[in-house]
Amino acid sequence: MACPVCKSINTGKVGHNTYYCANCLLEFTESGGEIEIFYIDAEGSSFALRDKEVALKLVESIREDNNLLLQEKLEELIIKS
């Protein structure tokens, strides 16, 4: 399954309906046509991201290695549970 964020096919299945993208390092789940995207932090906690645009922004800030920005942004990008 191609990554919904970066369209890479460099993805792997890691669980039931759960996939991991080796390109943008995000996990995503597919269930009945609904796709959810998750960011996994260094401690292994997962954060549900609002949408693809948000996920793409996050991937860009990770690429730029701007961890301070990332921490700041994460607060506003995730769906609060």
Among 23, 48, 51, 56, binds Zn ion (CB under 5 A): 23
Q: What's the angle, vertex CA 78, arms to CA 73 and CA 80, rounded to 5? A: 125
Q: What is the distance between the alpha carbons of residues 41 and 56, in angstroms, rounded to a whole number?
A: 16
55 near Zn ion, rule: CB under 5 A: no
6 near Zn ion, rule: CB under 5 A: yes
Q: What is the distance between the alpha carbons of residues 62 and 81, in angstroms, rounded to a whole number?
A: 23
Token readout for 26 is 């995000």
Among 2, 14, 15, 24, binds Zn ion (CB under 5 A): 24
CB nearer Zn ion, residue 5 or residue 49: 5
Among 8, 31, 46, 71, binds Zn ion (CB under 5 A): 8
Reduce the DSSP state of residue 54 to 3 states and report it. helix
Q: How many residues bind Zn ion (CB under 5 A)?
A: 7
